[in-house]
Structure 1
Amino acid sequence: MNQNDRTNQLEQQISSINSEYVRSVEKKKKRQQAQRVRLYRRLSVFGLLAIAVLGFLVHSLVSSQQTLANKKATHVEVEQVLTETLDHKESLELEIAKLNDDEYIGKLLRKDYFLSEENELIFTLPKDKEEDKSGE
């Protein structure tokens, strides 16, 4: 017998050792490999879900920060407008109080409309040259 014949016989003998134990070991290895594949699949799906949730949370946080910054800017603007409005209200209330005074109304009429009291003469003075230059 030559070498090739011996190799063929050995291969037949090896392949013929197909006992229950060998088949159970092969099945166990296949099951473990299948479990490992399923585990990797589950872990990858879980990882993708975790990344998606994390992305959503980060997006929500950034959006909330931008909204808060816009609200703060609007709040500062509204406070400035409120301060200006309160100042204007105070000046108008002061003007109302003055307009309730007859002497102030008399002075205002004499000044703006050149009205005079009885036996009073009104003289208009020429304006200074400096006032004329600033008015031009």
Structure 2
Amino acid sequence: MGAVREKNVAKIQSTYVKQQEYAEIATSRKRKLLFRRLSLFLAFAVFVSYFMVSSFITQASVIDAKKAQKKQLDKQLTALKKQQDVLKEDIVKLNDDNYIAKLARKEYFFSDKNEIIFNIPDKTKEKSTGN
């Protein structure tokens, strides 16, 4: 009883058995091919997913940079519009003869009729030249 029995079974050599063996072999080959195709498809899907995610992240960072640039350019545009308004006001003022005369008297020490100009030195200049 302690001895292991060996099975002495002979295979039946019939066409049906041969067809079944060929069918099993064909099924195992189909299964292997299916696993190979599925693994290849999975690898392709992972590659495509990686490509899509990386391009999405890249595009998101580019969009953020463009938004920051747009915000900066909007600030610059508002500053330039303010400067344009100031310059337009200066153009209007410079078309006025009284403003030009006042500006010339102030900047270039021109005098009006019966007007005397007194040049008062700045205290800061006086202190720096006096030491």
* TM-score, normalization by structure 1: 0.78
- The structure that is helix-richer by fraction is 1
Count of equivalent residues:
124
Report SS of the residue matched to 1:14: coil
Matched with 1:3 is none
Runs of 4+ that moved beyond 6 A: none
Does 2:78 align with 1:83?
Answer: yes
Q: Confirm whether residue 58 of structure 1 aligns to residue 57 of structure 2.
A: no
The counterpart of 1:14, out of the listed 10, 21, 24, is 10
Instruction: Structure 1: state its 5+ residue gaps.
Output: 1-6
Task: Provide the residue aligned with 1:4 in structure 2.
Answer: none
Partner residue in 1 for 2:3: none
Q: Does 2:68 align with 1:73?
A: yes
1:114 to 75, 84, 109: 109
Instruction: Give RMSD over aligned pairs.
Output: 2.6
Q: Name the residue aligned to 1:40.
A: 35
Q: Looking at CA atoms only, which structure, 1 or 2, has the larger radius of gyration? A: 1
TM-score, normalisation: structure 2? 0.80
Unaligned runs of 5+ in 2: 1-5
**Tell me, what secondary structure is at the counterpart of 1:122?**
coil
1:93 matched to which residue of 2?
Answer: 88
